[in-house]
């Protein structure tokens, strides 16, 4: 996507969408341990983004308001049938958001394969226009930039974006004792026209609970 098109999308998003943000710190210690036990199609450990993507897709099935479009012409909210999960990728040409088509039909290994492929394509410039424009919800791992949080701009015409900060060892209270744990921050920016804080908070809490208890979450998916 040309830089001008990206700028126009972000400007339109800021101008049209009454956005709000909610966030939570989560204990990702068990998630990191689980990742070491899961291998992808290439034999490498499944990427953390793929595990999070699986939780996000499951969350969107429970909170479909966040997988939607606002039709300003008809003044209606249009709920989408499936999830095309956008993955924000930083490249030499700037930020682009290719999306995994029909992410709701893929398991964790399938998501891992597609995320790796799309990220590589975004960076070498081979990603297609269709892959850059079909997204219905975006997952943004800005932790790779070395930051904990971000007041992100929604990728118009989507209505929400989940951001993930860097994972750091921090003191955490577990069963009444302060212990070192791996903590990250999840933040959800959403279009207040499509839902209120209860729905947004419910989705964010679902993903956060899955991060903190990943084995239990995967058993229910």
Q: Are 164 and 52 in contact (CB under 8 A)?
A: yes
pLDDT tens digits along 170-183: 999 999 999 999 99
Given a cut of 70, is residue 2 above it in pLDDT? Answer: no
Phi, psi of 181 (to 5 degrees): -135, 165
Residue 97 burial (C-beta neighbours within 10 Å; 0-12, 13-18, 19+): buried
**From residue 184, how far is each of 31, 35, 65, 176, 211 by CA, in Å?**
11, 15, 25, 20, 10
Q: How many angstroms separate the CA atoms of 134 and 79, rounded?
A: 14
Active-site residue, from 25, 156, 192, 209 = 192
Whether 192 is catalytic is yes
Active-site residue, from 79, 124, 196, 220 = 196
10 Å Cβ neighbour count for 134?
15
Given a cut of 60, is residue 3 above it in pLDDT? Answer: no
Q: Is 215 helix (H, G, I), strand (E, B) or coil?
A: helix
pLDDT tens digits along 144-163: 999 999 888 999 999 999 99
Q: How many angstroms separate the CA atoms of 31 and 26, rounded?
A: 10
10 Å Cβ neighbour count for 68?
23
CA 81 from centroid of its chain's CA atoms: 18
pLDDT tens digits along 9-36: 778 888 889 999 999 999 999 999 999 8
Q: How many angstroms separate the CA atoms of 115 and 140, rounded?
A: 12
Whether 84 is catalytic is no
């Amino acid at each position: 996507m040309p830089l001008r098109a990206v700028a126009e999308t972000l400007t339109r998003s800021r101008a049209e969408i009454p956005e709000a943000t909610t966030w939570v710190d989560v204990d990702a210690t068990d998630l990191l341990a689980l990742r070491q036990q899961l291998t992808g199609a290439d034999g490498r450990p499944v990427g953390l983004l793929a595990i999070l993507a699986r939780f996000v897709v499951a969350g969107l099935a429970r909170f479909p308001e966040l997988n939607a479009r606002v039709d300003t012409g008809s003044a209606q909210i249009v709920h989408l049938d499936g999830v095309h999960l956008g993955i924000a990728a930083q490249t030499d040409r700037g930020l682009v958001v290719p999306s995994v088509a029909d992410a709701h039909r893929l398991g964790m290994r399938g998501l891992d394969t597609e995320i790796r492929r799309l990220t590589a394509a975004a960076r070498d410039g081979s990603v297609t226009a269709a892959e850059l424009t079909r997204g219905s919800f975006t997952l943004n791992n800005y932790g790779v930039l070395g930051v904990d949080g971000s007041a992100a701009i929604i990728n118009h015409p989507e209505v929400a974006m989940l951001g993930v900060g860097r994972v750091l060892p921090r003191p955490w209270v577990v069963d009444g004792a302060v212990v070192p744990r791996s903590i990250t921050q999840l933040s959800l920016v959403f279009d207040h026209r499509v839902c209120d804080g209860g729905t947004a908070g419910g989705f964010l809490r679902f993903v956060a609970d899955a991060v903190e208890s990943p084995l239990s979450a995967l058993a229910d998916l």
